[in-house]
Amino acid sequence: MSAPILATKLYIPPPRPGTVSRPRLIEQLNQGLSSGHKLILVSASAGFGKTTLVSEWVASLNSSPLPVGEGQGVRVAWLSLDGSDNDPVRFITYLIEALQTMKTGFGESLLAVLQSRQPPSTEAILTALLNEISTALNEFLFVLDDYHVIDSRSVDEILSFLVEHQPPQMHLVIATREDPSLQLARLRVRGQLTELRSADLRFTPAEAAEFLNQMMGLNLSDADITALEARTEGWIAGLQLAALSMQGRKDIAGFIQAFTGSHRFVLDYLIEEVLQQQPEHIRNFLLQTALLDKLCVSLCNAITERQDGKEMLDVLERTNMFLIPLDDQRQWYRYHHLFAEVLQAYLHEEQPDQVSMLHRRASVWFEQNDLITDAIPHALAAKDFERAANLIERVWLAMDLNYQHVTWLGWAKALPDDLVRAHPVISVGYAWGLLGTGELEASEEHLRDAERWLEPTDLPAEDSASKISPERGQRMIVVDEAEFRSLPASIAAARAYRALALGDISATKMYARQALTHDTENTSPHYTQATALLGIAEYASGDLQMAEQILLKFQAMMWQVNDLASAIGISYVLADIKRVQGRLREAVSAYQQSLQLAASRGAPFFIGVSDLHRGLSEALCEQNDLEAAIHHLLTAQQMGELGATTGWQQRLCVAQARLKESQGDLPHALACLEEAERQYVRNPMPDPPVAALKARIWIRQRRLIEAFSWAREQNLSQEDELSYRREFEHLTLARALIARYKVDKVDDPLHTALGLMERLLQAAEEGGRNGSVLKILILQSLAYQAQDDQSRALVSLERALTLAEPEGYVRIFVDEGKPMADLLGRLIASCKSGRRKTYVHKLLAAFGAGELHPSALILQPLVEPLSERELEVLKLLRSELSGPEIAEQLIVSLNTLRTHTKSIFNKLGVNNRRAAVRRAEELELY
């Protein structure tokens, strides 16, 4: 948006001359401010004077003794909202620029990264913004005017985050026709909310008398004022419109007597009366300009095809005709929203044939003044779709790079399908937008539409834009020639993305290499994108060395073009690869170094940084540093919940589940995985399937029916062709087979599991995936132990320890429970290396066994069995019910429940609910 238009959004409207002073409301606002309330909400339907009241209050704060601070004045940032602010990136940009009106240079680094090729997550930006507010600004008000125009869940979430975390020196003021999507009830209970609503904002009889007689110059009797105030219920806009209609009338009493009905009917009647009282040239001007969100002289002249725009605006402002200035220079104005809506309704009813023409004229003016994003909505409203399509194509690349693709895709979806197909550039942009939302199949149709125009032709090169489709007799339209020339690379890259998200590695590599062939400039967006996809494809295929090599090349490209966000963002993938390779210490170091680099470059909030915290949390969890793991996981959650990379929320839930599993909280681990399933969006990253992770939890819970049902649904078999992408699934199948052997004591499942693991082990060793090798060796040792083949079990365990010890692995052993503790206890006596013995002691200590003899690690039967009632309580302890809820279900008092629980803890030898559940599972008491 241009500087003049931006200035109108940040303009603090001064108190309007001729308005009624409202000290009773000002006092309520002052009380909310002095009480330190987080939110001051002025919410009422149209025409209740919300903006006028807040502007009067703001002016009063700096001209009288203040309720806050030290008498130095309260600073104010003001943002007037409109429909274009539903785009989250645009909304945050304006938030920052509004704050800059109080302090020059505020948030410059945030604005810079918002415009980067890969901007940070929304929540990360907001966290950094609030931190900068805390350190850089003193007490201030932030006014969001006309918030009811916001119809975006993402923007509502931004506002919720701001309210929840706003620093104490910030007071948020919202003026709106409808309540925002905030937890207002909670704010009320906490005493953090001041509210002014319709009942508060209505004019009292005294205020109505002051307005009608003193401000509007009428000479009404007390009876007339009381009657009019009663009929309008103090509705300010209704009173103003009535006053305009009564000017020059003789039968005032008769007019008031006829003034009845709902707001809608009253408004329709008064507007017709007002319009009919105006000279024809003013009435026509009002109707012709009613479709504009903002007005200036040049724009008014263009849309009316007259040259008296300045004179007309001066007249409207002077006569209080609902015209509101948007800047101090009186260059930009807008109509009162209610007035504009009624004018528009009247225009559509009385002059419907003029509407499209007026929208078209507005679109032309905005385009000529290089305000393309303002021109597009008018072109669409005019149903001038060809013009709209041309404009939409022109802004696609810029908006895509600025991450305004949601707005862009909304415009593209408003175009007729045939017209989209005639624009190959729009077709490809449409396809990319669908890919980003996981609509993989739908994207292909649009890629094919674009591809048809790229087929060879006999036309000369300079006439290529004149192609006609032989299938539809349709002419190709190209506006952005440069982007059209890059379509082969863009289409190939889109197909590579789609293929990888569908798990087709060979197709991914083929399309990615096609994109590299089509676009040989190694710093172009399509070339670097194809390079990254090729690297991730190698990762998904299990060729980690090649994946690392390609992704390091991609990272170097990003450094070369100074794309800090992408260079740091790819670091988490490189570190994840190190973990799969079993290089746990290197992975921890890589995560930490990348986070330090991001912080040193002033960018600790890029997309990808949240994944760095998530990956570091998982690595630290493996090293049994659970406190640090929890810290980084919480940081990841705070940074990336909004607007994160595709698949991020799923990865976060999986990391939370892993941590819960390490804490022995299997029910909550399963709940995290179920949330991961709900968050799943198909994307190219080779993350472990959530369904397999759930099956692993079921096995630990001895829910083998569910586990084998999962295996059948996935068509898993020990005879399958092995691949890295399905490695975790096959390893989970082997785990289920071992568990079945323990229950049934039939050899076949165990032999099948051992054979499958032998194949998996060979494939992992050949692929250099030592992280996988370690997992397989540990499970192999447990399989041999179950078979009572202790010597082979210890051989596999020794091999696992050899890989694990240098990297500091702990949880991978401890999470296997008693059987692994038993094996380690048997092994320690034969350890010849002092270093190895120290490591095994460390592992045993992590089990809680310390230096105890191995036999102490073998869980013994209960000395005193649990009673039937205690078993009932124990089963409910495994649920998510609270103590009072369990007591209610058992129909006992809370004290009685506590007595049962204490007895259960004593008999199980534990001291908390989680440990009791784990101990009961190990003893198979469920």
Q: Are strands 323-325 and 333-335 parallel, antiparallel or unpaired?
A: antiparallel
pLDDT tier at 501 (50, 70, 90 boundaries)? Answer: very high
Q: Are 185 and 195 in contact (CB under 8 A)?
A: no
pLDDT band at 2 (very low <50, low <70, confident <90, very high): very low
Q: Lowest-pLDDT range, 63-67, 540-544, 777-781?
A: 63-67
Residue 1 has pLDDT above 90, yes or no: no
pLDDT of residue 71: 37
In this structure, the chain runs to a length of 926
CA distance 191 to 173: 16
pLDDT category of residue 378 using cuts at 50, 70 and 90: very high
| Separation of alpha carbons 60 and 74, rounded Å | 10
Answer with the residue of higher pLDDT: 244 or 673: 673
Average pLDDT, the chain: 84
What is the arithmetic mean of pLDDT over 2-19?
66
- What does the radius of gyration of the chain's CA atoms come to, in whole angstroms? 34
Q: Where are the beta strands (DSSP E) in 471-625?
A: 474-475
User: Minimal CA–CA distance to 2: which of 334, 323, 301, 331?
Assistant: 331
Residue with tokens 């994944």, as numbered in its chain: 611
What pLDDT is attached to residue 861?
46
Residue of 622, 703, 702 lying closest to 661 (CA atoms): 622
Torsion on CA atoms 31, 33, 36, 41, rounded to nearest 10: 100
Q: Higher-confidence residue: 895 or 261?
A: 895
Alpha-carbon 23 to chain mean position: 42
pLDDT given at position 319: 65
pTM tops 0.85, yes or no: no
Over residues 303-355, the pLDDT tens digits come to: 999 999 999 998 887 665 778 788 877 888 988 766 777 788 888 888 999 99
Q: Is pLDDT of 108 > 80?
A: yes
Better pLDDT: 661 or 564:
661
890 neighbors 872 (Cβ within 8 angstroms):
yes
Mean local confidence (pLDDT), 136-140 = 89
Winning range, highest mean pLDDT, from 233-247, 268-282, 367-381, 818-832: 367-381
Backbone torsion region of residue 255, taken as left when φ is above 0, otherwise alpha when ψ lies between -120 and 50, otherwise beta: alpha
Of 271 and 68, the structure prediction assigns the larger pLDDT to 271
Measure the CA–CA gap between 299 and 285, rounded to whole angstroms: 12
Q: How confident is the model at residue 44, as a pLDDT? A: 80
How high is the pLDDT of residue 259? 58
- Give the 3-state secondary structure of residue 403: coil
Number of H helices, E strands in the chain: 50, 9
Beta-carbon contacts of 451 under 8 Å, excluding residues fewer than 6 positions away, are: 491
| pLDDT (mean) for 17-31 | 84
886 CB contacts (<8 Å, ≥6 apart)? 873, 876, 877, 879, 897
- Judged against a pLDDT cut of 60, whether residue 262 lies above it is answered with no
Q: Which tens digit of pLDDT belongs to each residue from 605-644?
A: 566 788 899 999 999 999 999 899 999 988 888 775 443 4
Give me the amino acid identity at 285: F
73-107 per-position pLDDT tens digit:
678 999 999 888 888 888 999 999 999 989 989 98
Please give the C-alpha separations between residue 546 and each of 224, 389, 550, 574, 685, in angstroms, as whole numbers: 86, 42, 6, 11, 16
608 or 67: which leads in pLDDT: 608
Is 706 a residue whose pLDDT tops 50? yes
Residue 113 clears pLDDT 50, i.e. is over it: yes
Residues 6+ apart with CB under 8 A from 902: none
pLDDT band at 268 (very low <50, low <70, confident <90, very high): low
pLDDT of residue 153: 87
Listed ranges 449-453, 545-549, 657-661; the one with the highest mean pLDDT = 545-549
Say how far apart CA 441 and CA 745 lie, in whole Å.
Answer: 47
Task: Count CB neighbours of 190 within 10 A.
Answer: 11
What is the pLDDT averaged over residues 364-382? 95
Q: Kindly state the helix (H) or strand (E) to which residue 42 belongs, with its residue range.
A: strand 39-43
Maximum alpha-carbon separation in the chain:
113
Least confident of 450-454, 503-507, 884-888: 884-888
Cα 420 to Cα 209: distance, rounded to the nearest angstrom: 58
What percent of the chain has a predicted confidence (pLDDT) above 90? 46
pLDDT in tens, 712-766: 999 999 899 999 999 999 999 999 999 999 888 888 999 999 999 999 999 999 9
Q: Please give the Cα distance from 19 to 56 (Å, whole number).
A: 9
Rounded mean pLDDT, 786-791: 92
Percent of the chain exceeding pLDDT 70 equals 87
Average pLDDT of the residues in 674-703: 91
